[in-house]
Structure 1
Amino acid sequence: MPRNLFLLFALLLLVSCGEDSKHFKIEGRLLQMNQGEFYVYSNDQCVNGIDTIKVQGGRFSYEIPCTSPSTLTIVFPNFSETPVFAEPGKSVEMDGDASHLKMLEIKGTKDNELMTSFRAQIAAASPPEAKRLAEAFISGHPDSPVAIWLLRKYFIATFTPDYDTAGRLMNTLLKNQPGNASLRLLAQSVEKLRTSSVGNELPSFTTYDINGRLVSSSDLSVGTAVILVWATWSYDSSDLMRHLQNLYENKKFKVLAINVDPSKYDCRGYMKSNGVNFPVVCTGDMFETPVLKQLGLQSTCDLLLVKNGIIRGVNLSTPDLDKELSN
């Protein structure tokens, strides 16, 4: 009988380990946030849409199915974002102060600890210094998913993209991660972004807005047009949407806004409450929205200024955009 009990225990242990190897868990504590919530999404489909993580008594726990390495993005109430690198069968501990998220610590796996170390390294760095440190990190850790995230943040999805440096670093990453499908897709997007650089023609596309009306590149190729990527959960892009709506009342330029929310309901709610009356594309596919890929756009706040079919500005600051639209 004891032998049978031992075999049963061993079998249960194996089964439980098998299930655990297909999940990833985040547990954490945030000072200055006793109760609240924040959001998590993934560009590589590990998370379906956007999930909500609830904070109770300053602590939280979040577990998802995970069968392959993935990069999650946490969006905090102040709209700042931080990556979490998920691995099957692993768990991490997140510890920080909600009023000082730059010093957030995530421990439990090598990649998350590398990101924690980099975060501490740039805490007091100027933007140019942070970019230099990011380039050094990418060159020194070309086999890490952290390098891919830093490449996107500092050289691609920024107000001043550096596609030459991005292309050089991308080649290094591809040599060290030849089987990484997400990295190959990012490389393809960078090539498309080069075509969406200042001085080039607006790439050809056809799509439908949230109300089913046809929108195409030819509609935006006469006069001045602004193409913006936005989300209701992104403060900066939502603020830019409101700014464009105020300017749009003069009807001196065209706007196409591409929404990356997973829910058309949330998008429609924002449009109604803010009186948005220019075309908005919302397919629910988030960053996999087809027209985004056609234009090579990557992130919320990505912006193209088009004049007579030629791209004249990319990711302009609000003052620079205002100046261009007033000309």
Structure 2
Amino acid sequence: MKQIILFLALALTLVSCGTRKGYFSIEGRFLNLNQGEFYVYSTDGLINGIDTIKVNGGRFAREIPCTRRGTLILVFPNFSEQPIFAEPGEGVDIKADASHLKQMEVTGTDDNKLMTAFRQATAMASPPETVSRAEHFIRDNAGSPVAIYLLRKYFIKNDASADLKKAKELLEIIAKEQPQNGNVTRLKNNLNILSNANVGSRLPRIKATDIAGNTITEGNFKGKTSIIFTWATWNYDSENMKRRINSLIQQANGNYAALGVNVDASRKTCEDAVKRDNIHFPNISDGMLFDSKLMATLGLHAVPENIIIDTKGKIIAKNVAIDDLEKYIK
């Protein structure tokens, strides 16, 4: 009987001291954010859609289903994003000042400690210095998922520092350390597509169905200066861009075309937003979020991002600031 009691006590202790099997826990506390919420999504399909984490009294806790290693992105009220690297049965503790998230400290797993060290080392660094440190980090830690995240952020997605040649070089180093990682294989394929959807190249062939049931191809943009952009109802900047583009199109007398690629989890969410804002251009909402094949074909990976196409179907700019859009119409 005593042995049974000891066994049960030990089992209860193990359960209480760790995260449940098949889950990943996120908990912590914020300064300067007593009440509110932030969001979490995955860049590699670990979770579907957007999840919400509530903050009460500056503290928060959440268990997320997790059956494999993956990358989660936390989206904060100021629209900044920070990565968390998940592992089944593990958890992290987050400490941060909500007004200085670049110095956020995440403990609990080795990968998150690595990202914390990089985050804090570059908190006050200039953009060129940050890119240089990212390259050194990737070379020194090619076996970590942090290396993949930094590669995407600083050598692929960042229009100011995008360097596809360097990205391919660094990805080969990562591939040698992570030969069985399917995300690395997909990233290789995306890089090849990006090379064909870069500034100076022609708009790739596309085929998609908008929320009204119409087929959209590259032919929809023939003879018009056009913009294709990503947006989501949870991202203020992209919502603002959507409304500004709508206004510009109405003033352009049919000489300008646009296509919105919505990454909300629910198509109805997209439809409601389009109806609410009386949007006059087509929108795609395929429910694939950041795994959208259309986004991959167009070299779009984040929200908001955009590409500008001239009247001959040539990509002339990427990730144009919202205040600069009008000059492309004129």
> Which TM-score bucket, shorter chain as reference?
over 0.9
Please tell me whether residue 123 in structure 1 is matched to residue 117 in structure 2.
no
Which residue of the partner structure matches residue 193 of structure 2? 192
CA separation in 2, counterparts of 1:208 and 1:90? 40
| Structure 1 residues 22 and 278, CA gap change in structure 2 (3 angstroms) | same
3-state SS of the aligned residue for 2:258? strand
3-state SS of the aligned residue for 2:270? helix
Which residue of the partner structure matches residue 313 of structure 1? 317
Which residue of the partner structure matches residue 275 of structure 2? 272
CA separation in 2, counterparts of 1:180 and 1:51? 25
- Compute the TM-score of the two structures, normalised by the length of structure 2: 0.92
CA RMSD of aligned residues (A): 2.0
Q: Is the 8 A contact 2:24 2:91 kept in 1?
A: yes
Q: Kindly state the Cα deviation for residue 15 of structure 1 after the two structures are TM-superposed.
A: 8.2
CA separation in 1, counterparts of 2:236 and 2:137? 29
- Compute the TM-score of the two structures, normalised by the length of structure 1: 0.93
Which residue of the partner structure matches residue 265 of structure 2? 262
3-state SS of the aligned residue for 1:147? helix
Q: Which consecutive segments of 4 or more residues in structure 1 shift more than 6 A?
A: 11-19
Gaps of 5+ in 1: none
Matched residues, percent identical? 44
Counterpart selection for 2:302 from 296, 299, 302:
299
| Structure 1 residues 123 and 12, CA gap change in structure 2 (3 angstroms) | closer
Q: Is the 8 A contact 1:155 1:163 kept in 2?
A: yes
Q: Kindly state the Cα deviation for residue 167 of structure 1 after the two structures are TM-superposed.
A: 1.1
Q: Kindly state the Cα deviation for residue 233 of structure 1 after the two structures are TM-superposed.
A: 1.6
Q: Kindly state the Cα deviation for residue 145 of structure 1 after the two structures are TM-superposed.
A: 0.8
Q: Is the 8 A contact 1:159 1:316 kept in 2?
A: no
Q: Kindly state the Cα deviation for residue 63 of structure 1 after the two structures are TM-superposed.
A: 0.6
3-state SS of the aligned residue for 2:280? coil
Q: 2:40 is matched by which residue type in structure 1?
A: V
Which residue of the partner structure matches residue 207 of structure 1? 208
Q: How many residue pairs were aligned?
A: 326
Map 1:33-182 onto structure 2 (within 5 A). Answer: 33-160=33-160, 161-182=162-183
Which residue of the partner structure matches residue 31 of structure 1? 31
Q: Kindly state the Cα deviation for residue 318 of structure 1 after the two structures are TM-superposed.
A: 3.5
3-state SS of the aligned residue for 1:249? helix
Q: 1:259 is matched by which residue type in structure 2?
A: N
Q: 1:200 is matched by which residue type in structure 2?
A: S
Gaps of 5+ in 2: none
CA separation in 2, counterparts of 1:9 and 1:85? 31
